[in-house]
Amino acid sequence: MLWRQLVESDPVLALLFARGEEFGGIRPWPLVLASKEATCGSVGFPGNERTVRLLRRFVIDPEHAIRNLLLLRYLLAHEPWAFDVLEARQMICLDDIVHLAVGLENFERWGDLNAIEWFFRLPAPIRHFIGRLYAAADPFHNRCVEALIGPVKPLSDFHSKDEAIDWLKAFADWKEKIEIAELADDSSQWPEPPIPGTKTILPICSWDEFDAQFQSPRFYLDTHRVLLGEYYFYRLVVGQASMLGIAFVGGNWVIDQLLGPDGTNLQEEQICAEVEQWLRSAPESSRDISCRQSAWRLHLSRLAAKAGLPAPAGY
């Protein structure tokens, strides 16, 4: 078969052939004249007509085509029954492959796919169990967890199921202890406000003060960003009390939220203009957020002590 005919009739197979090195195979040009089944076999897929037909239904994601095809190859190699399931679909997308093969949907947790062959050789129930452990260990961007015990390791850092299961269980246990300690933390004081208040723009200096003023869950609060000095809340004393949230972005403080007492965006031009003018007049020292991070360091130290962990280096 000529190369052009292969591209037109079986584009996924042509992609596999052209990028064979990325599948641990080779790209022997004489195979262009060989059968499509032989081409599949040359890149590690089952070399049969069923594979050829299946690849015709595969939906190519331009950004992640190689990764997705690697996953499909592992699935077909280690779960022969997957042919029956996938053949019933008109099109095959990544969700189908992940559901059948892995049970681990966060791609960042996989690492180097070529380094986790051991994982795909495991029985499906164990793979899905490890997937559930990853879900339990996921810090969901909790900066305290990440600062105290670090990031979750990808699968490619492990070499066996026992190593992965033991590490993930321990990580999930420590994560839970940190989260419980954080819920029980009685600290309420926030760092000094980055920009001094005015008669109508008053800083909110603690969680208790915020909670007393704005009890509606519609008001967004990220305590970690406040403790890190990257975010701050103020109360606007104009008519009914309103809430202002400012964020440190690109070396400057900008309006992130300006909400009325009912939690909806405040649109009054005069108030917005007053806040913008106040931000423009902020002192140069307001741009040094490191001086306000002592509250974050103190918070981490308390959590570490309550969870039975040493304070991390640098804190």
* Interval 180-194 mean pLDDT: 78
Residue 26 scores a pLDDT above 60: no
- Beta strands at 252-259 and 242-249: parallel, antiparallel or unpaired: antiparallel
* Interval 152-156 mean pLDDT: 90
For residue 310, give both structure tokens. Answer: 């040493």
Gap between the Cα atoms of 212 and 65, Å rounded:
52
pLDDT value at residue 202 = 93
pLDDT value at residue 172 = 94
Gap between the Cα atoms of 281 and 292, Å rounded:
20
Task: Give the pLDDT confidence of 39-90 residue by residue, as tens digits.
Answer: 888 888 888 999 999 898 888 887 778 888 888 888 887 777 778 878 887 7
Show the CA angle centred on residue 266, arms to residues 265 and 268, nearest 5°: 150
Name the phi and psi angles at 152, rounded to 5: -75, 135
Q: Show Cβ contacts of residue 256 under 8 Å, excluding neighbours closer than 6 positions.
A: 231, 245, 246, 247
What is the residue-averaged pLDDT of the chain? 81
Would you call 265 helix, strand, or coil by DSSP? Answer: strand
pLDDT value at residue 103 = 55
What single-letter DSSP state applies at residue 267? -
Gap between the Cα atoms of 117 and 120, Å rounded:
5
Percentage of the chain beyond pLDDT 90 is 16
Task: Give the pLDDT confidence of 106-133 residue by residue, as tens digits.
Answer: 556 777 777 887 887 888 788 888 888 9
pLDDT value at residue 218 = 46
Q: Show Cβ contacts of residue 230 under 8 Å, excluding neighbours closer than 6 positions.
A: 247, 248, 289
Would you call 246 helix, strand, or coil by DSSP? Answer: strand
pLDDT value at residue 278 = 93
Question: Given pLDDT bands bounded at 50, 70 and 90, which one contains residue 239?
Answer: low
Task: Give the pLDDT confidence of 4-22 residue by residue, as tens digits.
Answer: 777 888 888 888 877 777 7
Q: Which residue has the tokens 């979750």?
A: 152
For residue 10, give both structure tokens. Answer: 């079986």
Rounded alpha-carbon distances, angstroms, from residue 144 to 10, 42, 81, 247: 50, 48, 43, 19
Which residue spans within 35-108 are E strands per DSSP? none
Q: Show Cβ contacts of residue 239 under 8 Å, excluding neighbours closer than 6 positions.
A: none
Residue 246 scores a pLDDT above 90: yes
> Which amino acid does the sequence have at 225?
R
- Contacts of residues 135-140 at CB distance under 8 Å and 24 or more positions apart, as own/partner, are 136/168, 136/172, 136/175, 137/168, 137/171, 137/172, 137/175, 138/106, 139/175
In a 13 Å sphere around the CA of 19, the CA atoms on its Cβ side amount to 12
* 247 or 220, greater pLDDT: 247
